[in-house]
């Protein structure tokens, strides 16, 4: 009797896993010249491209999407608002500012930065910027007690850091081109180190957020009710904001500003199943992964050998879905 939600959730989880695997196979097969055979003879250049470029990029896109989906579900849970998204506390603009500053100081473009040090340096700057922005938001909001104050502080931090990043780009126009690929979102810079990093953060984030899944359910009944049920609001909120900041920061640092995935993934899950947080969190991660990877495959394949910025594609698809949702459900 207790498992109405769970009974519906298991097939959805299996379907999403299968979809993810299918997309990984497709993603590995889509190259600069469109469809290419997956299995060529060993030792040919084709397999090097597959192993060194396409596979990490494909897995990394799925992982980054999963992190955004998870962060979105956590954000919508703690802020008790279906329109909350992972970038709410300023992490996106913080990452943007971090990358812009590093580019301006080092005078390198990410594509020119040869090898892993350059790429990881940029990712590190983005991650540090994202985490610092969230810490700044928390400081301005004087802690996690008031969700409305947190939201406002997040908006303020986002605007101010965004303005500073724009100023950096204005002063150092050489940065502009490189920044654009970050702002539009790109999976082109993902390598194996990124993949392992994203995987570690995803597992840690899932474990940590699942530990608080009951508290998230209780929170949906209101903060007073949750507190009356023995939920310690401040520590729970702090831990979940930590999960959200780390997951978002890791994803944004690796793939740039991917729009809408974190916002839409939990909505898609809720449309398919009425699950408690225990299921909503992992299902949102699976959905986010499938969404970003599907968008990435499309972005690579649609105009091959030209490549669309994947963030543009997720924005168009996500916006379209929300519009459809809005018209289907009259207010």
Partner 1 sequence: MSTVAIAAERLHVTRGGVEVLRGLSVALPAGRWTAVVGPNGAGKTTLLKTLASLLPYQGEVRLMERDARAWSARERARQLAWLGQNEGAAHDLLAHDVVMLGRLPHQSWLGAASAADRAAVEAAMRETQCWDWRGRALGSLSGGERQRVLLARALAVRAPLLLMDEPLANLDPPHQADWLRIVRAHVQRGGTAVTVLHEITMALHADDMLVMEGGVIVHQGACSQPATHRALERVFQGRISVHAIAGQWVALPNEYVTVAPAPDGARGNAVAGEILR
Applying CB under 8 A, which residues contact partner 1? 1-2, 4-5, 80, 210-211, 214, 217-222, 224-225, 227-232, 270, 274, 276
| Token code pair at residue 242 | 């930590």
Q: How far is the CB of 226 from partner 1 (least distance, A)?
A: 8
Closer residue to partner 1 (CB): 5 or 301:
5
Q: How far is the CB of 161 from partner 1 (least distance, A)?
A: 31
Of 218, 325, 212, 226, nearest to 266 by C-alpha is 325
**Euclidean distance between the first and the last CA atom of the chain, given in angstroms as a whole number:** 32
| Token code pair at residue 252 | 């944004």
Closer residue to partner 1 (CB): 149 or 214:
214
Pairing of strands 30-31, 34-35: antiparallel
Q: How far is the CB of 310 from partner 1 (least distance, A)?
A: 29
Closer residue to partner 1 (CB): 40 or 220:
220
Q: How far is the CB of 239 from partner 1 (least distance, A)?
A: 13
Closer residue to partner 1 (CB): 33 or 331:
331
Closer residue to partner 1 (CB): 288 or 311:
288
Residue 266 has what DSSP assignment?
A: H
CB-CB neighbours of 39 under 10 Å? 9
CB-CB neighbours of 44 under 10 Å? 10
Residues facing residue 34 across a β-bridge = 31
What is the chain's Cα-based Rg? 20
Closer residue to partner 1 (CB): 236 or 258:
236
Q: How far is the CB of 11 from partner 1 (least distance, A)?
A: 17
Q: How far is the CB of 260 from partner 1 (least distance, A)?
A: 20
Q: How far is the CB of 218 from partner 1 (least distance, A)?
A: 5
Closer residue to partner 1 (CB): 180 or 228:
228
Do the beta carbons of residue 57 and residue 190 sit within 8 Å? Answer: yes
Compute φ and ψ for 239, nearest 5 degrees: -65, -45
The CA–CA distances, whole Å, from 83 to 47, 76, 80, 267 equal 43, 7, 9, 9
């Amino acid at each position: 009797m207790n498992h109405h939600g769970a009974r519906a959730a298991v097939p959805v989880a299996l379907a999403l896993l299968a979809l993810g695997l299918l997309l990984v196979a497709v993603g590995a097969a889509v190259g600069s010249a469109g469809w290419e055979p997956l299995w060529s003879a060993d030792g040919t250049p084709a397999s090097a491209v597959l192993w060194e470029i396409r596979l990490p990029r494909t897995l990394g896109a799925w992982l980054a999407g999963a992190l955004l989906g998870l962060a979105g579900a956590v954000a919508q849970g703690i802020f008790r608002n279906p329109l909350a998204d992972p970038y709410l506390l300023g992490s996106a603009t913080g990452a943007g500012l971090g990358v812009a500053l590093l580019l301006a100081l080092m005078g390198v473009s990410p594509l020119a930065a040869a090898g892993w040090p350059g790429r990881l340096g940029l990712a590190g700057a983005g991650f540090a910027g994202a985490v610092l922005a969230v810490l700044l938001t928390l400081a301005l909001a004087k802690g996690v007690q008031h969700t409305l104050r947190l939201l406002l502080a997040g908006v303020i931090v986002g605007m101010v850091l965004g303005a500073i990043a724009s100023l950096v780009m204005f002063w150092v126009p050489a940065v502009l081109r490189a920044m654009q690929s970050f702002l539009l979102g790109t999976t082109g810079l993902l390598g194996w180190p990124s993949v392992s990093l994203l995987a570690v953060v995803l597992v840690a984030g899932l474990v940590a957020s699942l530990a608080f899944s009951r508290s998230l359910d209780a929170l949906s009944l209101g903060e007073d009710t949750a507190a009356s049920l023995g939920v310690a609001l401040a520590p729970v909120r702090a831990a979940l904001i930590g999960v959200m900041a780390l997951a978002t920061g890791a994803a944004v640092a690796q793939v740039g500003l991917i729009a809408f995935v974190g916002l839409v993934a939990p909505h898609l899950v809720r449309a398919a199943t009425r699950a408690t947080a225990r299921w909503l969190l992992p299902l949102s991660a699976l959905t986010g992964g499938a969404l970003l990877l599907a968008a990435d495959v499309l972005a690579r394949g649609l105009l091959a050998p030209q490549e669309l910025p994947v963030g543009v594609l997720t924005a168009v698809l996500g916006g379209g879905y929300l519009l459809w949702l809005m018209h289907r459900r009259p207010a």
